[in-house]
Amino acid sequence: METPALRLKDLCFRYSEQGKRNILDHVSLDIPAGKITVLMGSGGCGKSTLAAVAAGLYPENGGFLASGSVELFGQELSGLSIPERARLLSLMFQNPELQFCMDTLRKELRFCLENLDLPPEEMDGRALAAARALGLEEKLDQSLYCLSGGEKQRAMLCCLYVLESRCLILDEALANIDGASARELVSEMVRLRREGKTVIAIDHRLDYWLDWADEIVVLGQGAKVLARGITKNNLADFRALFAQEGLYYPKTPAFKVAALPEPEPAVELKGVSVPRSVEKDRWGRKTVKGWLLREADAAFPRGRMTAVVGKSGSGKTSTFLSVLKQHPYEGDILIQGRDLRSIREKELFGLIGMVFQNPGNQFVSQKAEDELLRSLRIWEKGLSEEAAREKALALLDSFGLKHYHRFSPYMLSQGQQRRLAVLAVLAGKQEILFLDEPTYGQDRRSTDAIMERLRVKVETEGLTVVFITHDWELAAAWADKLYRLEGQKLLETRPETLFGEEAEL
Q: 41-52 pLDDT, tens per residue?
A: 988 899 999 999
pLDDT category of residue 180 using cuts at 50, 70 and 90: confident
Residues 236 and 284 grouped into a single domain: no
Last residue of a domain, one of 245, 273, 296: 245
Residues 273 and 391 grouped into a single domain: yes
Q: What pLDDT, in 10s, does the model give residues 13-34?
A: 998 877 778 899 999 999 999 9
Backbone angles phi, psi at 306, to 5 degrees: -120, 135
Structural contact between residues 394 and 343, judged by C-beta atoms closer than 8 angstroms: no
How many C-beta neighbours within 10 Å does residue 184 have?
15
Residues 209 and 285 grouped into a single domain: no
Residues 312 and 211 grouped into a single domain: no
Crossing angle of the two packed helices 368-379 and 385-398, in degrees rounded to 10: 120
Asked if residue 477 is part of any domain, the answer here is yes
Q: What pLDDT, in 10s, does the model give residues 430-440?
A: 999 999 988 88
Residues 312 and 423 grouped into a single domain: yes
pLDDT higher for 338 or 380? 338
Residues 220 and 294 grouped into a single domain: no
Last residue of a domain, one of 198, 214, 245: 245
Asked if residue 215 is part of any domain, the answer here is yes
Residues 391 and 485 grouped into a single domain: yes
In angstroms, the CA 303 to CA 80 distance is 57
CATH of the domain at 300: 3.40.50.300
Structural domains counted in the chain:
2
Asked if residue 357 is part of any domain, the answer here is yes
pLDDT higher for 76 or 286? 76
Q: What pLDDT, in 10s, does the model give residues 322-361?
A: 999 999 999 999 999 999 999 999 899 889 999 887 787 7
Backbone angles phi, psi at 103, to 5 degrees: -100, -10
In angstroms, the CA 111 to CA 102 distance is 8
Residues 425 and 280 grouped into a single domain: yes
What's the whole-number mean pLDDT along residues 101-110? 92
What pLDDT does residue 369 have?
Answer: 92
Return left, alpha or beta for 439; rule: phi > 0 is left, psi -120 to 50 is alpha, else beta: alpha
Amino acid at the residue 312: S
β-sheet bridge partners, residue 310: 485
What's the whole-number mean pLDDT along residues 407-425? 87
Model pTM?
A: 0.68
Residues 93 and 37 grouped into a single domain: yes
In angstroms, the CA 214 to CA 5 distance is 14
Residue 457 belongs to domain spanning: 265-498
